[in-house]
Chains A and B, each alone.
Chain A
Amino acid sequence: NAGVMQNPRHLVRRRGQEARLRCSPMKGHSHVYWYRQLPEEGLKFMVYLQKENIIDESGMPKERFSAEFPKEGPSILRIQQVVRGDSAAYFCASSPLPKKSSGNTIYFGEGSWLTVV
């Protein structure tokens, strides 16, 4: 799972600024997932993307959050006008094409820690 690359590892933003978190999936993986971990909590699903497509964004907050996975380049999680409550660890994960017959194991990156001051 070390193959999922996230940057930056740590990001500090003032309230009202924008945060951009980047994720490059493991080699050979075309499916990307973003999860958020609030302090003292487990991870919570945010969004599932394939190249140029959002497949499931049921866990994304309705406002200020967006995600993309362009044809070229990493996946981006963007948070506009950050607030203190956005302070959290944001984990990206990737997988190859999910198989209904054998399930899907997703592999996490090392996370990006956003602190809003």
Chain B
Amino acid sequence: AQTVTQSQPEMSVQEAETVTLSCTYDTSENNYYLFWYKQPPSRQMILVIRQEAYKQQNATENRFSVNFQKAAKSFSLKISDSQLGDTAMYFCAFGSGGSNYKLTFGKGTLLTVNP
């Protein structure tokens, strides 16, 4: 079974600065997908970014980028130019290539952006 570990329960960053959230996972599979979801105070689950394991290039979405280290099984999220609206719970998730609807989530990192 896959496991996803987010070792930082809480983090804070000043507005406009950069922050990195860490995520590690454990799997014996070679084909899989990784995701970062954001859950703001409204509690909605919002997809932030997605990475296919077979792609070496790190995914980027505007101010959000990932550092995907397949050998180390690490998938960190970098948020540049942090904004107050980035304050949320961030969940890292793993999706198996064979049944990639069945996501395994980490316990989350609560990020607070301070003015």
Contact = CB atoms under 8 A, between A and B. Distances in A.
Interface of A: 1, 31, 33, 35, 40-45, 48, 56, 58-59, 89, 91, 93, 95, 98, 100, 102-111, 113
A4 to B, nearest CB: 10
Nearest to B54: A103
B64 interface: no
A1 B100 contact: no
A42 B102 contact: no
A42 B100 contact: no
B101 A48 contact: yes
B45 to A, nearest CB: 4
Nearest to B103: A45
Interface string B51-79: 01000000000000000000000000000
B101 A42 contact: no
Contact of B105 (A44, A95, A100, A107): A44
A105 B47 contact: yes
Nearest to A43: B105
Contacts of A33: 101
Contacts of A48: 101-102
A102 B52 CA distance: 8
A105 B33 CA distance: 9
A102 B47 CA distance: 17
Contacts of B104: 45
Most B Cβ at <10 Å: residue of A41, A56, A106, A111: A106
B102 A45 contact: yes
Interface in B60-115: 91, 93, 95, 97, 99-108
Given A42-B108, A43-B91, A45-B102, A100 B47 contact: no
Nearest to B37: A108
